[in-house]
Amino acid sequence: MTYKYYPLTILILGALLGFYIYNIDNTMFAYTIPFSDLTYNMPIALWIVMIIYIFFFITIIFIFSERMEIFLSKRAINNDKKTFIQKIKNKIIEKKDENLVLKTNLFKEISDIVDQFDMIPKADSTQCNNAEIKKILAMYLNLKNGEEIDIHKFNIPQTSSLFTLNTKNSITKNYKNGLPIIKNKNYIYELKKFAFIALLKNADSKEIKKYKDQISYDREIAIEMLNTFIEGKISLSNQEISDICKNAKFTKDDYLNLVKSAKGKLDPNTWIAISEYIADSDENAENAYFYVLLELEMLDRARDILRAQPAYEFLNVRAYLDLKAAGKSYPTDLFFK
Closest by CA to 121, choosing from 137, 105, 133, is: 137
> Percentage of residues in the chain with pLDDT exceeding 90?
52
Instruction: Note the pLDDT of residue 32.
Output: 67
d(CA 129, CA 206): 53
Greater model confidence, 22 or 156:
156
Q: Is the pLDDT of residue 104 over 70?
A: yes
Instruction: Note the pLDDT of residue 203.
Output: 93
Q: Is the pLDDT of residue 29 over 70?
A: no
Work out the average pLDDT over 182-193. 92
Q: Which amino acid is at 204?
A: D
Instruction: Note the pLDDT of residue 1.
Output: 47
Could you tell me the residue ranges of all domains in the chain? 1-113, 120-169
Q: Which amino acid is at 229?
A: F
CA dihedral 335, 222, 168, 121 (to 10 degrees): 50
DSSP state of 242: H
Helix (H) / strand (E) element for 191: namely helix 189-202
d(CA 173, CA 193): 16
H-helix segments, 282-308 = 286-295, 299-307
In the chain, the largest separation of any two C-alpha atoms, in whole Å, equals: 143
- Radius of gyration of the chain from Cα atoms? 43
DSSP state of 30: E
d(CA 303, CA 208): 40
